[in-house]
Structure 1
Amino acid sequence: MSSHATKMLLLFFVWYASICLTSGMSDEYSIRNIGLDKFTFEKEVFHLFQMWKKETQRECQTLEEEVHIFHVFKSNLKYIREKNAERKSPGDYSLDLNKFSDMSYEEFSKIYLHETEEPMIESNSSRIVLNDIACPTAPSSFDWRTEGAQIKFMFMDTCWAFSATRAMEGINKIVSGQLLALSEQQLISCDQKCTGCKGGGWYAYAFQYVINNNGIASEKDYPCTADNSVCNNALAQKKSATIDGYKYWYHNPVSESSLRCLVFKQPVSVSLFASRDFQSYNGGIFRGNDCSGIG
């Protein structure tokens, strides 16, 4: 972009910002309850951008920074609209604006996505078998949250630990009748095959760690510190739950009905290829049209 064009764009921001200051934005509006297709012209998109900044508490330090993220915001908005227009049914996944809408996919990937080597899985689960006819009464849909399963927000690069603890909490609830929050921090700090909250990990390794450790502590006994702190061996010996096996699939065709059977029996951990759509994912069934094959 030429310096003259840059100056003109900065002047536009200054001019439109003055309009926003005089007209204001109603507090009753939210980017979550308005149709994105209503904002088509440049000024309307910029108004939506201002609403998004207010709702996400995004602050720009310089006018140049605001120009940059506005361009990225517009690009993401265009992509969201195009992908949502491709939906063929109400159940298909949809995209929406969120706190990552000021980031390009390259920026998002660099911060939040990391490639990790495929784990070398130990043979420990020959007893677990999937069978298409093992669950003739399995419903077409099932939500473990209605049975007391919990959803937790995770911090950076710890999805593997949170996924593992949620699965173990679910099976522990089924077996013992008690829903007990287990320690993600123990996995992050003590599982040496994973890289804590800096480079990611695999839930399969987390399961194996719990087996080798003969159990895992509760979140109360080994609380979350959201960092790569050194393993506290004393706390790690406070066993609140145990598992004796797990099953892992990789590039192994598993029928949808047999997988539904297993999910009906207990919560499971899954990994998905985090394509660009996941940056703006809002809800619905992800079809995996651009999946890399990792599962």
Structure 2
Amino acid sequence: MRAKIIFNMNPQLILLISVISCLMVTACQALTDDEVTREWNTFLEKTKKSYKSPVEASRRLAIFKENLQDIENHNALFEQGKVTYKKAVTKFTDLTKEEFSQYINKSKLSQRPKQSKNMFKANPNLTVAGEIDWRNYGAVTYVKDQGQCGSCWSFSATGSMEGQAALVEGRQLVLSEQNLIDCALEEYGNDGCNGGSMDGAFEYVTFYGIDSEEDYPYLEYQYYCRQQGSVFGISSYADVEQDEYTLQLAVAQIGPISVGIDATNELQNYGSGILIDQTCGEQINHGVLVVGYGSEGGNDYWIIKNSWGQNWGEQGYFRLIRGYSACGINLMASYPIV
């Protein structure tokens, strides 16, 4: 029941409660210069970031300090049981919220009309598991990192194809996002590092197949198409009705499913736990992969594989509240048919 109360509360009210609660705990005291410096040096070492001038470095440090204080304040609320997820320093902690939004919206997930004539139909004879994690069945490869390229759509697409390769064909494949970025272009509604759609990627693969990551490695920028062969192909693809329970059935019966979400500012410094985000809506701007679902502490959640590297979130994953169509997770779901 706690999830319902939190999720339906007015965002401004939650902010007010957070501020009041923060003032009541010592963990929300201002960070010392030594604490900030220590965290900043660790951040620079882990991310290997450098800046073009001392002025820019100073500006980034100021932004980092503000975000770090927000992380400390939020985590104090987590320790009191007032929120369901923790924040952490990530590679995005030196960005303002506006800059992070610009990074997310660079992907521009295509809203092209649906080309697939196939719709997921649940098997009435199968019992739906109360929880499932396809990582435990060898259907999910390692977490990758899209870097500065707005190519989330390609990572989401390869993720669901890798899942079907494992579950249907029994093959452990790591597929090439770069192949899709370079080759599945305008004809399929895609624009390389400037965005695209998972359905567009699937449509391309129905005609040409897709190379492996090893044969066609990731560059983080768009290059010319040089596909030489194919290690995996699909016959078609299917869309999932815009209903969250139907999405659950699809995940349970098919495997990892490609979805689009509204990736708002709360993902910027997400650390762990079940994300209940008051700021996200239905402006779909980021392609990810649902690899399972479960429940914890009375809250149902989705298990989602991201493409921001293994040092972000829960080793590259995050959990999102399930049952409220949070962040538009039910609006753009699809998967390949082998």
Whether the TM-score (by the shorter chain) exceeds 0.5 is yes
Q: CA deviation at 1:72?
A: 0.4
Q: CA deviation at 1:202?
A: 1.1
Task: Look up the match of 2:252.
Answer: 264
Instruction: Supply the AA of the counterpart residue of 1:84.
Output: N
Equivalent of 2:244 in 254, 260, 268: 254
Q: State whether residues 119 and 204 of structure 1, in contact with CA within 8 Å, keep that contact through their aligned partners in structure 2.
A: no
Instruction: Supply the AA of the counterpart residue of 2:225.
Output: C
Note the alpha carbon deviations across 1:39-85, whole angstroms, 9 max, x for none. Answer: 72344333433343344344455443343222201221132234434
The number of residue pairs the alignment matches comes to: 250
Give percent identity, aligned residues only. Answer: 29
Larger radius of gyration: 1
Equivalent of 1:93 in 73, 85, 89: 85
Q: 1:54 to 1:179 in 2, by over 3 A?
A: closer
Q: CA deviation at 1:285?
A: 2.4
Q: CA deviation at 1:280?
A: 1.0
Q: Does 1:280 align with 2:269?
A: yes
Task: Look up the match of 2:192.
Answer: 196
The separation in 1 between residues aligned to 2:259 and 2:217, in whole angstroms, is 25
Task: Look up the match of 1:6.
Answer: none
Q: State whether residues 116 and 239 of structure 2, in contact with CA within 8 Å, keep that contact through their aligned partners in structure 1.
A: no
Secondary structure in 2 matching 1:270:
strand
Task: Look up the match of 1:158.
Answer: 151
Equivalent of 1:41 in 29, 32, 38: 32
Cα RMSD (Å): 2.9
Q: CA deviation at 1:291?
A: 2.2
Q: Does 1:125 align with 2:114?
A: no
Instruction: Supply the AA of the counterpart residue of 1:149.
Output: V
Equivalent of 1:216 in 210, 223, 226: 210
Note the alpha carbon deviations across 1:183-222, whole angstroms, 9 max, x for none. Answer: 222211111221112x1111111111112x1522333443
With normalisation by structure 1, the TM-score equals 0.72
Q: CA deviation at 1:121?
A: 0.9
The separation in 1 between residues aligned to 2:161 and 2:224, in whole angstroms, is 23
The separation in 2 between residues aligned to 1:225 and 1:71, in whole angstroms, is 32
Task: Look up the match of 2:221.
Answer: 227
List structure 1 segments (4+ residues) > 6 angstroms apart after TM superposition: 36-39
Equivalent of 2:201 in 206, 210, 231: 206
The separation in 1 between residues aligned to 2:49 and 2:212, in whole angstroms, is 36
Q: State whether residues 169 and 181 of structure 1, in contact with CA within 8 Å, keep that contact through their aligned partners in structure 2.
A: yes
Q: CA deviation at 1:129?
A: 1.0
Q: 1:55 to 1:176 in 2, by over 3 A?
A: closer
Instruction: Supply the AA of the counterpart residue of 2:98.
Output: E
Secondary structure in 1 matching 2:235:
coil
Q: State whether residues 181 and 219 of structure 1, in contact with CA within 8 Å, keep that contact through their aligned partners in structure 2.
A: yes
The worse-fitting range, judged by mean Cα deviation, of 264-273 and 238-247 is: 238-247
Write 1 or 2 for the structure with the bigger share of strand.
2
Structure 1 residues without counterparts, runs of 5 or longer: 1-35
Structure 2 residues without counterparts, runs of 5 or longer: 1-26, 285-327, 329-338
Q: State whether residues 109 and 195 of structure 2, in contact with CA within 8 Å, keep that contact through their aligned partners in structure 1.
A: yes
Q: State whether residues 184 and 219 of structure 1, in contact with CA within 8 Å, keep that contact through their aligned partners in structure 2.
A: yes
The separation in 2 between residues aligned to 1:40 and 1:165, in whole angstroms, is 42
